[in-house]
Structure 1
Amino acid sequence: MDKLHTTLPRKYFWPLPAHSTTSQTPRRVGLEIEFAEISVDDAAELVRALWGGEIRPQGPRDTLVQGGRFGDVKIELDIALKTKWAEDIAAKALGDLVPVEIVTAPLMQSDLPHAQTLTNALRKAGAKGSRAALAYSFGLHLNPELPAPDGSGLVAVARAYALLEDWLRASDPIDPARNIIPFVDRWPTALVDALVAGRDWSVDDLAISYARLAPSRQYGLDLLPALEHLRPALLADVPDTQLKGGRPTFHYRLADARVDEHDWSIAYEWNRWVLIERVATTPDLMDALASDWTGHHASLISTRGDWVAQVESRLQRYPDLLRD
């Protein structure tokens, strides 16, 4: 039997599931795409050629393509230090190790194929991705809007991710260089345990526990922007340096940006995220995975590999997860 992740579509995008009767408005998603060996100016011209708009430089390392078909698009060298002079020195010293990043406006799900067209154009223009060089550590960040303005569905998605994270990492490992930089750490086991036990958690419960157990922006799924948007008063345990402003989105950083590889696609990475949300909206599967985790974590001899195999086996029993 094929591993489940190998059967995920790579040429079309699954829709996000509805989490409740309050989550029927089509949800948008912002994308951040990192790559090397194409300059900010050349990438901006490529975006303008595909999507229209006017190129408006914003500074020495970033520009804006304004007024195009899919909203404003920012293109920048992805480096953020305390001072501009330090950024200048680092950018010159590190060269292509500092990625160029394209940051889109929130896109309708129906417009995501145009993002795939963009990455195809980047590849043809010579852009290099995560695995093109040993020290590259480039990511594709997905910023899907929350299922509902009141936070409905957030806890379920957090629980699903907690239960699936090891499987996601093992089924298609991220580039080794990304494991030695911030922003893609695993969630702490204590947080996973709390989420598994917190079957009836509210958003308040999630905010309080996340602030206590994972008060950092460093994770493959960063919930601080969403929680700062929804429950800022409950994040007192989070250092100010980690609070960059709230917004009603998830911030998922686990995906590599393999823009130069012909068999890679944004659709594939997007569908991995949608799979998380499909699990979150399948209560009996969530209960089964939570029970599996409890037994796994209580065992003195189970390994992370054992857990990954358990998750794979459990997911294989739910063929509807792969429905188009």
Structure 2
Amino acid sequence: MTHNAFPMPPRQHTSTGALRRVGVELEMNGLTLDSLAQVSAQFLGCEIELTSRYERTLRGDAAGPWIVELDFRLLKRLGREQRSKDDLGDDLKTSAEEMLKWLTDSLVPHELVSPPLPLDRLHEVDGLIERLRQAGAKGTGDRVTSAFGMQFNPEVPDTEADTISAYLKAFMCLYEWLLKRANINLTRRLTSYVDPFPSVYVRQMINLAYWPTLPQLISDYLRDNPTRNRALDMLPLFKHLDEARVLAVTGDELIKSRPTFHYRLPDCLIDQPGWGLHLAWADWLEVERLACDRPRLDGCCEAYRQHLDSGLSRLLTDWADQVDNNWLDAAG
């Protein structure tokens, strides 16, 4: 995959002048945990560290460690416990753990988690995807129960309230188009992991007069979205900016604090030739471009408001098609 496959967003740097970074998370099966770690480490030039029975850490990348793990919190916790073969209680725990692993083996994916990678390294992720596909990795669609996703975490260009609001407005306007483009697997649609934003919140967000302060933006978001299960999960960013406010509402200690947008919508189709990060990245860039073009953003918000207010005629029009025809960046 060439660098040209990854066009850059309008704002490539943070407020400190550093190149923005993106973390990537891939869920899959078809490879054992150790095979996934070995293929990835070989491609990346990393060394494998045995972190626990269900976790491996790949060290040696200048961007930071890569994580290979079983995406099941309980088993990961059990896998960190040291057991004695001579202790009956430990022996029973081991048997229970092995049974749990067997029961969940076809349902729980292995996950590969990158460190925050500079924008100019994103093409490497597609190279790694191709190598894993050749090794036998399987994604969403391999089985009915394989509701596996690809998530990525673009670092915010800055943490100003207007910047974050613009990105949220752009995402609201493009969501139906993004959903159509993503063609989400039915099994993933039936889960709550990538739920859309409530309509009442969408209407507030696309209001042309709504440019709140940061505390108000976070409070309004938490009022209608006190959950990680959104296609664009803002809780990691808002916890980074105001941890006390987020935890007071959600009580969720598992929210990871980080200065990023957490985009959760795409399926992981790693076993399909030609599939890679570049496809969802190209769609995400439409959000970036719209967020950075205030006149076009205002026009799109107003057009979307009119669409939502159009009553029965709304059923006869496809907003995703309107986005495709009128609101994408022609220069992109």
TM-score by length of 1: 0.88
Q: Please say if residues 231 and 264 of structure 2, whose CA atoms lie closer than 8 Å, have aligned partners that are also in contact.
A: yes
* 2:142 alignment partner, one of 113, 132, 149: 132
2:55 aligns with 62
SS of the residue corresponding to residue 255 of structure 1 reads: coil
1:250 aligns with 261
Deviation at 1:23, TM superposition (A): 6.7
1:209 aligns with 220
Per-residue CA distance 1:93-140 (angstroms, 9 max, x = gap): 132321111001111111111111100001000111112222211111
User: CA separation of 1:68/1:243 partners in 2, compared to 1, >3 Å: closer, same or farther?
Assistant: closer
Identity of aligned residues (%): 29
The residue identity in structure 2 corresponding to 1:182 is S
User: CA separation of 1:11/1:99 partners in 2, compared to 1, >3 Å: closer, same or farther?
Assistant: farther
* 1:158 alignment partner, one of 133, 153, 168: 168
Deviation at 1:18, TM superposition (A): 1.5
1:315 aligns with 2:327: yes
* 1:79 alignment partner, one of 68, 72, 76: 72
User: CA separation of 1:213/1:164 partners in 2, compared to 1, >3 Å: closer, same or farther?
Assistant: same
Of residues 144-153 and 186-195 in structure 1, the stretch that sits farther from structure 2 once superposed is 144-153
SS of the residue corresponding to residue 319 of structure 1 reads: coil
Q: Separation in 2 of the partners of 1:70 and 1:234?
A: 30
SS of the residue corresponding to residue 241 of structure 1 reads: coil
* 2:123 alignment partner, one of 66, 90, 113: 113
The residue identity in structure 1 corresponding to 2:145 is A
Task: Report matched runs for 1:162-173 at 5 Å.
Answer: 162-173=172-183
Q: Separation in 1 of the partners of 2:261 and 2:14?
A: 20
User: CA separation of 1:237/1:159 partners in 2, compared to 1, >3 Å: closer, same or farther?
Assistant: farther
Q: Separation in 1 of the partners of 2:38 and 2:317?
A: 45
- Rg larger in structure: 2
Deviation at 1:304, TM superposition (A): 8.6
2:18 aligns with 25
Q: Separation in 2 of the partners of 1:23 and 1:192?
A: 31
1:303 aligns with 315
2:152 aligns with 142
1:228 aligns with 239
Deviation at 1:163, TM superposition (A): 1.1
1:14 aligns with 7
Deviation at 1:204, TM superposition (A): 2.2
Deviation at 1:237, TM superposition (A): 5.8
1:5 aligns with none
1:102 aligns with 2:95: no
User: CA separation of 1:116/1:151 partners in 2, compared to 1, >3 Å: closer, same or farther?
Assistant: farther
Q: Separation in 2 of the partners of 1:184 and 1:12?
A: 26
Give runs of ≥4 in structure 1 deviating > 6 Å: none
Where does structure 1 lack aligned partners over 5 or more consecutive residues? 1-8
Q: Separation in 1 of the partners of 2:182 and 2:152?
A: 17
Q: Separation in 1 of the partners of 2:14 and 2:72?
A: 41
User: CA separation of 1:209/1:76 partners in 2, compared to 1, >3 Å: closer, same or farther?
Assistant: same
* Alignment root-mean-square deviation, CA: 2.5
TM-score by length of 2: 0.86
Deviation at 1:194, TM superposition (A): 1.1
Deviation at 1:286, TM superposition (A): 0.9
* 1:240 alignment partner, one of 251, 256, 271: 251
User: CA separation of 1:107/1:88 partners in 2, compared to 1, >3 Å: closer, same or farther?
Assistant: farther
The residue identity in structure 1 corresponding to 2:50 is P
Where does structure 2 lack aligned partners over 5 or more consecutive residues? 79-92
Q: Separation in 1 of the partners of 2:218 and 2:235?
A: 9
SS of the residue corresponding to residue 37 of structure 1 reads: coil
1:196 aligns with 206
Per-residue CA distance 1:169-212 (angstroms, 9 max, x = gap): 12331111111223211111111111112542232222011010
Q: Separation in 1 of the partners of 2:54 and 2:26?
A: 16
User: CA separation of 1:290/1:151 partners in 2, compared to 1, >3 Å: closer, same or farther?
Assistant: closer
